Structure 1
Amino acid sequence: MKILLLEDDQILCESLKEFLELEGYFVDVAHRGSEVFDLTYEERYDLYILDVNVPEVDGFDVLASLKEAGDETPAIYITALTDINSISKGFAIGAEDYIKKPFDPEELVIRIKRKYQKEDLLLRLNDIVYNPTTRVLQKDGQTIGLGEVQQNIFHTLMTEQNKIVDSYTLMDFLEQPSANALRVNLAKLKNKLGIEIKNIRAQGYMIENL
């Protein structure tokens, strides 16, 4: 799951980014409202987390502009504005949730999981539970973070369980594609997660889940 976080307090922003990444999310950050438009032009996100009082364009106007442009990405406001008018405005614009500052980062994660982690979407492999929508990976109940390359490889293999994924598809995720680099990343995945990834000679790789 890829998140865009708009927060002008750089200490809080970095703290939230680090916390969310430890939970397995990919996070881009913006400190000014105008930066959101640049980032959303180049990237597609699964969730926006928006502060309201930010420089240049406030969080309310940011989301309103995105909605007017046809962007239906869910959004959560995190803000110190706690009056009923501000809360009503946030929901009227189209926010999915509204969290009042100060808050525990764990509360934010709980709300994200509650809204976007559906039980029937979860994929299981031995002691691993994986949500392909949020890309949150848990092993023995503990969230495991993967780098972007290994995350993409694992996601592809996990969502295609019992099917052969050709090597070239997996190599597309590498910065410098090669069969050897792919083998190295697969070996790291196997060691970190304790899973078996089968090498189907001259065809590709597969996670088998019988």
Structure 2
Amino acid sequence: MKILLLEDEDTLRKNIEKFLTLKGHSVDSFDDGGQLLKDANLFEYDFFIFDINVPDVNGFELLIYIKDKKIETPVIFISAMIGIEEITKGFELGCSDYLKKPFELEELELRMKNIKNSFSTHERITLPNGLVYDFSAKAVFQGDKQLELSKKQSEILYILMKHHGQVVSFDTIADYAYEDDFRDMHTISSHIRDIRKVIGAEVIKNVRGVGYKVVF
């Protein structure tokens, strides 16, 4: 998974980042909420881990911003704040879980797995033409048959499906599907054409000069 971490305590932030990286995840970390909003593309992540008391923009404010943007990526709050009022506020705003400091890193991973498993039970979307998109597999199925997409096409379709109904910019697609500074819109457009041949041209709409949007 691609994870966005916000934690202003240096040692803890580095330990979490190292632990999750060793577990095979990709982690971008920040110690300042304002800097996170400036530099991070929130649409490209699979999981958010936020401390609450951080400089500039706190964890609660970030979650409000994320929900306003209709981003449904799961959020775990990690905080030394143990009052029932803070915990209640976090859940009312839409966080997926709340982990009190100090905690074992293995517990953080376990909670992340449980949340992703609960999401995966309903992460299937019915497409036109009798097709089904499965988020956990990042694949398109017709009945029991998985339709053929290249790895790169699967990544591009995943980020579009994750934000279906919303315009996904070329930069967001490139940031998610490519690890370097790749920005060749022609190559992305070529992949989109091939994806359309599999799922139907009407499913992916081109928003000229901006990006693409899944509609159905």
Fold match, TM over 0.5?
yes
CA distance in 2, matches of 1:168, 1:89: 39
1:113 matched to which residue of 2? 113
User: What is the 5 A alignment of 1:1-210?
Assistant: 1-41=1-41, 44-117=44-117, 133=136, 165=150
| Cα drift, residue 71 of structure 1 | 1.8
- The letter for the 2-side match of 1:10 is D
CA distance in 2, matches of 1:167, 1:88: 41
- Does the CA contact (< 8 Å) of 2:43 and 2:71 recur in 1? no
1:190 matched to which residue of 2? none
- Does the CA contact (< 8 Å) of 1:116 and 1:133 recur in 2? no
Deviations, residues 140-178 of structure 1 (Å, cap 9, x unaligned): xxxxxxxxxxxxxxx9xxxx9896859999xx9686x9x
CA distance in 2, matches of 1:162, 1:134: 12
TM-score (norm 2): 0.56
Note closer, same or farther for the CA distance 1:134–1:64 as it changes in structure 2 (3 Å cut): farther
Note closer, same or farther for the CA distance 1:164–1:5 as it changes in structure 2 (3 Å cut): closer
CA distance in 1, matches of 2:31, 2:137: 24
- Does the CA contact (< 8 Å) of 1:49 and 1:75 recur in 2? yes
CA distance in 2, matches of 1:62, 1:71: 11
CA distance in 2, matches of 1:166, 1:20: 23
- Does the CA contact (< 8 Å) of 2:48 and 2:76 recur in 1? yes
| Cα drift, residue 30 of structure 1 | 1.1
CA distance in 2, matches of 1:83, 1:167: 45
- The letter for the 2-side match of 1:64 is I
- Does the CA contact (< 8 Å) of 2:3 and 2:45 recur in 1? yes
| Cα drift, residue 40 of structure 1 | 3.8
1:200 matched to which residue of 2? none
Segments of 4+ moved more than 3 angstroms:
39-43, 117-121, 132-135, 160-169, 172-175
How many residues end up aligned between the 2 structures? 143
Report the 3-state secondary structure (helix = DSSP H, G, I; strand = E; otherwise coil) of the residue aligned with 1:49.
strand
- Does the CA contact (< 8 Å) of 2:74 and 2:115 recur in 1? no
Q: Which has the larger radius of gyration?
A: 1
CA distance in 2, matches of 1:174, 1:97: 29
Specify every segment of 5 or more residues in structure 1 that has no aligned partner in the other structure, as ranges. 122-131, 136-154, 178-210
CA distance in 1, matches of 2:113, 2:37: 26
- The letter for the 1-side match of 2:27 is V
Q: Which structure carries more relative contact order (alpha carbon 8 Å, separation 6+)?
A: 1
- Does the CA contact (< 8 Å) of 2:48 and 2:74 recur in 1? yes
